[in-house]
Structure 1
């Protein structure tokens, strides 16, 4: 079995795969203060709850936008799974041609999403990830990662409004049903949710127009894929999203694993704790 870690600023999402199929997935809070042992005990309990054998995990792959958690998870991989984890980064085979000015600046999650979306839906396409930040990525029909846009996510916007004002309360992120609101709670919800919907609609429209410059056929349909925890909320109020795919990142990790598992320059294991434990990223 393969255990995949998608580490975001707010949550760590884990996916367990067997023979290319996702068996189950879990969501944990990202905590810089947790040790490898603490995460290990939590994961062990999750396996036991689902009557799964943790010893059947044969490899680990990690995508992270939180560098401070990476060492912890690499340590966890060696200690609990006796494997050096594959880490998404420079040198990993993805099948994408990254057109960013500096490819190393592209978040690992954005690359993983692009790999999965192009494999599942083809191109050209736009991927929107509604996480701590809301990211928009453009991918051509030739599997070229062209770039994108990053905006504050809904939760960040909500937290900032609460923290930077004296009287405005913290609210649940849900659609109030109207924009002429008669109380403060609904007014904030309307501004956050409908404002985000408007932003998404506008950026997608602009991105579709710019994608025509990269396409041999300007009439070719651009598919829009949404992922992330708040994707369903935003999709409910706009028409520009074609598919909501909550497991896109985990599926992308499994695809990248299959592209890389046979071409490691270093053996992924097994290794023993305290010996042969190099926590730097493996090169591929």
Structure 2
């Protein structure tokens, strides 16, 4: 069994895999890392590999503490990936984005793929039908948009995510919700339209913590999977094992 762990900017997600099947998923705070990993390993005694993708600030030693029990692997730029990288600055490409691109390449062969990860940031990553990673975009996510409106203005309140019933806000609060939610929805739909116009045979994958919230509001047809990064971590690691 493989335990995959995604260390994000705000929280940690993990999942236990038996082959390609996700047995159970977990979400916890960074302060709970050690105890949660310990509990998972106790529950699933046949876990032999711990695979980590990190863009957060968790110390590697927090995971290496378990290397007497399991093989610990940190996904890095030096790993083998199932695509060639056409990014202008490949060493600066986030590991999470590389894992998502790898998962899309392995799970959806012979087609163009656009992976949209809606979390603290919204990332767009494009892998073409020839398995070449071409690049993408990075934008603020929903939470960052709310926070920036509050932090960089004198009077706008700090709000939390809420559905916007109309694009016409009838109050300051409604206007903020409309601007943040509808603004990101229009942005994502706009990116998708551009990619669809530029290339045929394309699959759109929406993932991340806000994927389910956003999916029902998009006009474009997408494949929504909030756990796609963890699944991609499992696929990427199996690809590494089979091709080392």
- The alignment status of 1:6 with 2:6, answered yes or no, reads yes
Runs of 4+ aligned residues of structure 1 deviating over 6 Å after TM superposition are none
Greater strand content: 2
Unaligned runs of 5+ in 2: none
Pick aligned residue for 2:216 from 236, 259, 269: 236
Structure with larger RCO (C-alpha < 8 A, sep 6+): 1
- Output one character per residue of 1:195-225: Cα deviation in whole Å (capped at 9) or x when no partner: 1111112222223344x3xxxxxxx322211
1: distance between equivalents of 2:228 and 2:187? 22
Unaligned runs of 5+ in 1: 213-219, 265-284
Distance 1:263 1:209, change over 3 A: closer
- The alignment status of 1:108 with 2:95, answered yes or no, reads yes
Query: Does structure 1 conserve the Cα–Cα contact (< 8 Å) formed by 2:41 and 2:47?
Result: no
Specify the SS of the correspondent of 2:180: helix
- Output one character per residue of 1:21-54: Cα deviation in whole Å (capped at 9) or x when no partner: 111111122x4xx4xxx52223334566xxx23x
Partner of 1:121: 108
Query: Does structure 2 conserve the Cα–Cα contact (< 8 Å) formed by 1:63 and 1:87?
Result: yes
Distance 1:185 1:72, change over 3 A: farther
Partner of 2:25: 25
Structure of greater Rg: 1
- The alignment status of 1:190 with 2:178, answered yes or no, reads yes
Partner of 1:57: 47
Pick aligned residue for 1:201 from 189, 195, 212: 189
Query: What RMSD over aligned residues (CA atoms) do the two structures have, in Å?
Result: 2.0
- Output one character per residue of 1:108-142: Cα deviation in whole Å (capped at 9) or x when no partner: 11111112223223320211000111001111112
Query: Does structure 2 conserve the Cα–Cα contact (< 8 Å) formed by 1:2 and 1:60?
Result: yes
- The alignment status of 1:221 with 2:215, answered yes or no, reads no
Shift, 1:161, TM fit: 1.3
Partner of 1:72: 61
- The alignment status of 1:40 with 2:29, answered yes or no, reads no
Query: Does structure 1 conserve the Cα–Cα contact (< 8 Å) formed by 2:83 and 2:105?
Result: no
- Output one character per residue of 1:132-179: Cα deviation in whole Å (capped at 9) or x when no partner: 110011111121111001111111111111222333222231222102
Query: Does structure 1 conserve the Cα–Cα contact (< 8 Å) formed by 2:185 and 2:214?
Result: yes
Matching of residues 140-219 of structure 1 within 5 Å? 140-210=128-198, 212=199
Specify the SS of the correspondent of 1:78: coil
1: distance between equivalents of 2:202 and 2:194? 12
2: distance between equivalents of 1:86 and 1:43? 14
2: distance between equivalents of 1:203 and 1:185? 27
Shift, 1:82, TM fit: 4.2
